[in-house]
Amino acid sequence: MIPRAAKTQRRTRIQEEKEEKILEAALDVFSAYGFRGATIDQIAEAAGMSKPNLLYYFRTKEAIHRTLLDRMLFTWLEPLRAFDAAGNPESEIRSYIRRKLEMSRDFPRESRLFANEILQGAPHIEDELKGPLKELVDEKAQVIRAWIKAGKIAKCDPYHLIFSIWATTQHYADFDVQVQAVLGDKSGEGRFEDAARHLEELFLRGLKVEKPSL
């Protein structure tokens, strides 16, 4: 009878399965229509259950949304967290770009969920942006700044550099329809590699110090 936070504190197998199914369906709907555009009925149907049954596991529409966002935010920042100050600048930037691009390829719905949220003013995650996200970016910006001062990469604004990497990589998930429309349906397979090669070259050439070793 007690849906969330059961007495035993341990979640049932059924609970686990159904909640997963709901979140899976909700990710489809929220990422496609945004928070306000999504409806509980739609999510319930996609999850293959009745609306009251869905609301037995998540008390409100917002609860589902929040759970999805929380989950996503953590993994979303993982590539940036992996950004290593001790590593080689070129390979660090290269692998960061690649990791972010892989996420766009493998988790496009998560990317769109996030994009929808930001686009609509980030009403549910403003604190996370101004807190944990900002702190992490500040930290990594310092790393980049150190590389610049050490003459390892060309001078540039670290924050805007990070923004550029975010923008270009996430573009392939968020604006996929447009990318496909422009490129035509040809080259469905090689598309990811083409984008990866292009971005790596663009950023690494753009950051190479003027006179490498002369």
**CB under 5 to 8 A by kind: which of a second copy, DNA, none does 7 bind?**
DNA
Q: Two tokens at 119?
A: 């686009």
- Least Å distance, CB 5 to DNA, is 10
Instruction: Sketch the per residue contact string, 164 through 203, with DNA: x for CB under 7 A, - otherwise.
Output: ----------------------------------------
List 150, 177, 186, 211, residue binding a second copy (CB under 8 A): 177
Q: Which of 46, 38, 33 is nearest to 116 (CA)?
A: 33
Rg (the chain; Cα; Å): 21
152 near a second copy (CB under 8 A): no
List 32, 40, 122, 156, residue binding DNA (CB under 7 A): 40
**Buried b / exposed e along 7-36 (16+ C-beta atoms within 10 A):** eeeeeeeeeeebbebbbebbbbbbbeebbe
**Buried b / exposed e along 172-187 (16+ C-beta atoms within 10 A):** bbbebeeeeeeeeeee
Q: Two tokens at 213?
A: 């070793």
5 near DNA (CB under 7 A): no
Q: Which is nearer to a second copy, 43 or 199 (CB)?
A: 199
Query: If you ran DSSP here, which 8-state letter would residue 7 be given?
Result: T
CA distance 163 to 157: 10
**CB under 5 to 8 A by kind: which of DNA, a second copy, none does 12 bind?**
DNA
Residue-level length of the chain? 214
Which residues, 46 to 65, sit near DNA by CB under 7 A? 49-53, 55-56, 59-62
- Least Å distance, CB 46 to DNA, is 12
Q: Give the interface with a second copy as residue ranges (CB under 8 A).
A: 32-38, 112, 115-116, 118-122, 126, 129-130, 133-134, 137, 154, 156-157, 159-161, 163-164, 166-168, 170-172, 174-175, 177-179, 181-184, 194-195, 197-199, 201-203, 205-208
